[in-house]
A and B are shown apart, each in its own frame.
Chain A
Amino acid sequence: QLQLQESGPGLVKPSETLSLTCTVSDGSISSSRYYWGWIRQPPGKGLEWIGTIYYSGSTYYNPSLKSRVTISVDTSKNRFSLKLSSVTAADTAVYYCARQVGTTSDYWGQGTLVTVSS
Chain B
Amino acid sequence: GEDVEQSLFLSVREGDSSVINCTYTDSSSTYLYWYKQEPGAGLQLLTYIFSNMDMKQDQRLTVLLNKKDKHLSLRIADTQTGDSAIYFCAESKDTGRRALTFGSGTRLQVQP
Chains A and B belong together in one complex: no
A residues lining the B interface (CB < 8 Å): none
